[in-house]
A and B are shown apart, each in its own frame.
Chain A
């Protein structure tokens, strides 16, 4: 399988804090990579640097290379806005736009491409909602406010909003941690389906979840990449002692 995203000596500083240290790794196309590790290990920081979200954080500095299909996303010729349309992101807490309807939420990002015809919009909304298995639940109330949905539905709406833009990579920052078990299950099933079309990178503190949904698992500790490999292998025969300690619950 092809490499989609590649990190090369990635370092992230927040002021004086060295949050991510010399990380080099690859993310394969059409697969799910889980990033695990104890809180504060820099896993979210790595994730957010992949679509240049740190541009927004004052005092954040990202060094090293991040390659998307071999293209350095920090290259001067590259626009962060264009990058973020190829690399979508789903956040920990569902964050639909509260002033918009369900329909408008889904189309919000796509609409930035320019004027969208009504039928085209309806089509995108339907296919995106179908893909996140939300269509049947909301098709009769597309004009209702997005905040009327349950937490799990909101999160699936946010995923629909992300895939409506037609990204190549989807970053997920603990997408199920704010949800109940049933909604979590739905999200996990969804991830399984989405990987056929997208490259998915998911940060999670839930090891069972990582084991269930991912093909590859990367273990981070104190800002460093400790180990990365096939999920099965990481969870059964890890090479490093720290990894073993963590997955067996001896710390973290």
Chain B
């Protein structure tokens, strides 16, 4: 109902040209009204300009990136995404190692982060006492506020050496028969990137999942409880199914963040363009190669190849984020519809 009222008000709200429409006012101070109208016109113009600049920026990004990528696209075509050679001297560029690194690191990080995040969000909203839940939620927000470069600093100076000394030798010793745990422990490795990405996306997925869970109506939970469900059964029966598209949106948003994450990954992944099955081996991602090589790229083709990697990255993140927003919007809009009688 509130929504409906709001909309009506919005329609009824006076727009620019009836700003000073009180008749006596207009008659006695007509000059004032003139000024008011033109002021409104200019003001509205400015806001229109700035609001539409969002669209312009988005468009500009795509156009600029595409334009700068043209030389590479023209030279390599599809070979760019299936080739593994990356040789600035020979002028031969194939981005497969970076694509591989990005895909593997992001997906593994998501696989680890999703259960952790959803579990934490459920704990915050449905299980912990209100105060404790609020405290954990604030701490998770703190985690989200830490800049990427500081995660990287901690990752490269603390976590990677620890992985090298303890975790990786352990994995290699015990599970070395599995290909993904073979090879020498480097510390800086795919494994380190997966861990740091997991730590970084957990707060995002957690806080959005938390918001989504808060939209689950009390009546749904009561329905389950009244049927004699335990708390977990209530979550399974009423809460999680109700929130599933929103939670999916949260996870996809986390994926977008992981794919685009640059600094922390660059600092811990070892920056070696290779496709190795082993998590203990160093690797390379798309944002990392841009970060490392872009400022020093001398040939036009090299710059353009990096731009094309950026273009792929942009396209992927635009799709991912668009999808995530659509999923999350359907949740909030559904909630509003539910609010109407």
Q: Do chains A and B touch in the complex (CB under 8 A)?
A: yes
B339 to chain A, nearest CB (A): 12
B120 to chain A, nearest CB (A): 20
Known: A58-B130, A108-B237, A112-B233. A95 touches B227 (CB 8 A): no
Report the bound CA distance from A53 to B228 in whole Å: 10
Q: In the complex, are the beta carbons of A81 and B229 less than 8 A apart?
A: yes
Q: In the complex, are the beta carbons of B241 and A158 less than 8 A apart?
A: no
Q: In the complex, are the beta carbons of B228 and A98 less than 8 A apart?
A: no
Q: In residues 103-139 of chain A, which contact B (Cβ within 8 Å)? A: 108-109, 112
Band of interface residues on A = 20 to 34
Minimum CB distance partner of B218 in chain A: A56
Report the bound CA distance from A85 to B224 in whole Å: 11
8 Å CB contact of A99 from B130, B223, B233, B241: B241
Q: In the complex, are the beta carbons of B223 and A91 less than 8 A apart?
A: yes
Known: A95-B219, A97-B237. A84 touches B242 (CB 8 A): no
Collect the chain B residues with CB atoms within 8 Å of residue A81's CB: 228-230
Give 1 or 0 for each of B268-306: 1 = CB within 8 Å of chain A CB: 000000000000000000000000000000000000000
Collect the chain B residues with CB atoms within 8 Å of residue A96's CB: 223
Inter-chain contact count A-B, CB under 8 Å?
66
Known: A97-B241, A99-B244. A85 touches B228 (CB 8 A): yes
Q: In residues 173-218 of chain B, which contact A (Cβ within 8 Å)? A: 217
From B130, B220, B223, B233, name the one whose CB has the most chain A CB atoms within 10 angstroms: B223
Minimum CB distance partner of A171 in chain B: B226
From B130, B220, B226, name the one whose CB has the most chain A CB atoms within 10 angstroms: B226
Q: In the complex, are the beta carbons of A84 and B238 less than 8 A apart?
A: no
Give 1 or 0 for each of B228-258: 1 = CB within 8 Å of chain A CB: 1110010001100110100000000000000
Of all A-B residue pairs in the complex, the 6 with the closest CB atoms, nearest first, are A109-B227, A85-B228, A99-B241, A89-B226, A84-B228, A95-B219
25 CB-based A-B contacts, threshold 8 Å: A51-B226, A53-B225, A81-B229, A82-B228, A85-B227, A88-B227, A89-B222, A91-B219, A91-B226, A95-B220, A95-B222, A95-B223, A97-B238, A97-B241, A98-B241, A98-B242, A99-B242, A99-B244, A100-B241, A109-B227, A109-B229, A161-B223, A161-B227, A162-B226, A162-B227
> Given A95-B222, A109-B228, 9 other A-B contacts at CB below 8 A?
A82-B228, A84-B228, A89-B222, A89-B226, A91-B226, A95-B223, A98-B220, A98-B241, A165-B227
Q: Which residues of A contact B (CB under 8 A)?
A: 51, 53, 56, 58, 81-85, 88-89, 91, 93, 95-100, 108-109, 112, 158, 161-162, 165
